[in-house]
A = this chain, B = another copy of it.
Amino acid sequence: MPASLCVIPDSAPNTPPGRPSIHELECPVKAHEWVNGQYRLLVVSAPRAVLDCEPGQFFHLLCPRTDRFQPYLRRPMSIYSYDRAKGEISFLYKVAGEGTGALASLETGDSLNIVGPLGQGFEIRPQWRRPLLVARGVGLATLAPLAQECASLGLPLIAICSARSPDLLMSADLFRSFGAEVITVTDKQGNSDGESLAPMVEGLIRNRGIDAFFTCGSARLLRMLQEIGARHGIGGQVALEQNMACGIGMCQACVRPFRRDDGAVNLRVCREGPVFDLQEVL
């Protein structure tokens, strides 16, 4: 990384002192179920304060310590869904390692400490009328609330859901329930690679007037959409991941380089992101 990168953009925090907008809370677990062999859906009760959140934002979860797992740092998780009426928020996560392994031990009635809502969510610009969602793996969780948002804005929605195998396409039905037209592709079926998807996306642009991309979950798909978007002048956004410590913007752990007017700049995924402009990602 060139030493000339300026570390963080010249932006000051946007909340005046005395009005906390990020909360640390103990939330009772309402439900916690296996969605398939790898993913679990965790639903917690949450007060109104933290439900002022947006698709694309995330929470930082304090995973419990168990005899087997001893996670230390928090783990970032996208909001999978939130319901202000029911006072609940849910996370869809893949059991990957120490932290999520420990998270998986939570039972209904247990308490989960969460910090959030954090980061900048998706922005559906007014000129974007026909969005295409392209999600893979964990990205299916992150894009789910965006699909709901599109539905509530009355936007017609097409979603390409990609996964290793058909049983890991867990939120395709949820996308459908929001009225999305869902195209599923999997490695197993051999139709999830770039060569298969690029023509499909090009076709959707031609035939369905796609004018915005939203993606999450795959560097490969991101590169493909950047390339197609640049060629067709189609904008969009991507939700990124990076190892985090604080999640709030204090530690500078989670930076990634982005293209800005004056060259490259390191931005914090937890603060300026996790949602970024598609074309700015380096």
Contacts and interface: CB of A to CB of B under 8 A. Distances in A.
A50 B64 CA distance: 34
Nearest to A70: B65
A67 interface: yes
A66 interface: yes
A139 B65 CA distance: 33
A65 B65 CA distance: 8
- Name, among A65, A66, A67, A70, the residue most crowded by chain B CB atoms within 10 Å (CB to CB): A67
Interface residues of A, number: 5
A163 B65 CA distance: 36
Interface in A15-38: none
Nearest to A110: B67
Nearest to A64: B67
What is the interface of chain A mostly: helix, strand, loop, or mixed? loop
A64 B67 CA distance: 6
How many copies of this chain does the complex contain?
A: 2
A234 B65 CA distance: 53
Interface in A21-77: 64-67, 70
A98 to B, nearest CB: 13
Contacts of A65: 65-67, 70
Contacts of A66: 65-67
Nearest to A68: B65
A48 to B, nearest CB: 27
A50 B248 CA distance: 53
A32 to B, nearest CB: 16
A194 to B, nearest CB: 44
A70 B65 CA distance: 9
A75 to B, nearest CB: 15
A67 B65 CA distance: 4
Contacts of A70: 65, 70
Contacts of A67: 64-66
8 contacts: A64-B67, A65-B65, A65-B66, A65-B67, A65-B70, A66-B66, A66-B67, A70-B70
Given A66-B67, A70-B70, 6 more contacts: A64-B67, A65-B65, A65-B66, A65-B67, A65-B70, A66-B66
